[in-house]
Structure 1
Amino acid sequence: MAEVKINIQENEPSSFDLYDEDGKVGEMVFDIQGKDLTVYHTEVSPKKEGMGYAKLLLDAMVGYVRKNNLKVIPLCPYVHLQFKRHEELYQDIWNKVKEE
């Protein structure tokens, strides 16, 4: 079963890391400045694509953002696309002002 773990780093980008029985199979790289969490990149191992793993990373990030009263700047193409496709789900956490 897949599990997401948060990896907070000082002075460099942090990540949500995804693990399954094969070890680390994905990550979502982000940084927090003030009340904004900027997502830069989401990647899942090619062997694990199509298994919903990117969505697990997205859900973990969204849960973290809501729990910590943050806003998201989705520079990552995957996250930006999901926010645009399902705006009603993410409008409360989407910082559109700083994205542009």
Structure 2
Amino acid sequence: MSLAMTGGRLAVFHTEVFPEFEGKGFAKLLLNELVRYAIEKNVKIVPLCPYVNAQFRRHPSEYESVWSKD
């Protein structure tokens, strides 16, 4: 993942897994750990990455507590 922390917000720019691991749930595992970290550190996630953004939009209630919509 490509990330940047600014003022209590964690911008996610890119999520990538090696081609041989695509479609096997690894990106979702990365996202789950990111969300766990955000909750633990009390920061919000800015989902600029297309994958993260799509997951947030598909499952808004799952990510509501960490989603920075500003």
TM-score by length of 2: 0.97
Higher strand fraction (1 or 2): 1
1:8-46 per-residue CA deviation (whole Å, 9 max, x = no partner) reads xxxxxxxxxxxxxxxxxxxx1101001100000000111
Residue of structure 1 aligned with 2:16, choices 22, 26, 43: 43
Percentage of matched positions with identical amino acids: 49
- Please list every run of at least 4 consecutive aligned residues from structure 1 whose deviation after the TM superposition is greater than 3 angstroms: none
Q: CA deviation at 1:88?
A: 0.4
Give the structure 1 partner of residue 29 of structure 2.
Answer: 56
Alpha-carbon separation, structure 1, partners of 2:60 and 2:13: 19
Larger relative helix fraction: 2
- Per-residue deviation at 1:50? 1.2
Q: Structure 2 CA distance, aligned partners of 1:52 and 1:61?
A: 14
- RMSD of equivalent CA atoms: 0.5
The one-letter code matched in structure 2 to 1:50 is: G
Letter of the structure 1 residue corresponding to residue 3 of structure 2? F
Matched pairs, number: 70
1:74 corresponds to which residue?
47
User: What residue identity is the alignment partner of 2:17?
Assistant: V
Unaligned regions of 5+ residues in structure 1, if any?
A: 1-27
> Whose radius of gyration is greater, 1 or 2?
1
Point out where structure 2 has 5 or more consecutive residues left out of the alignment. Answer: none
Partner of 1:85: 58
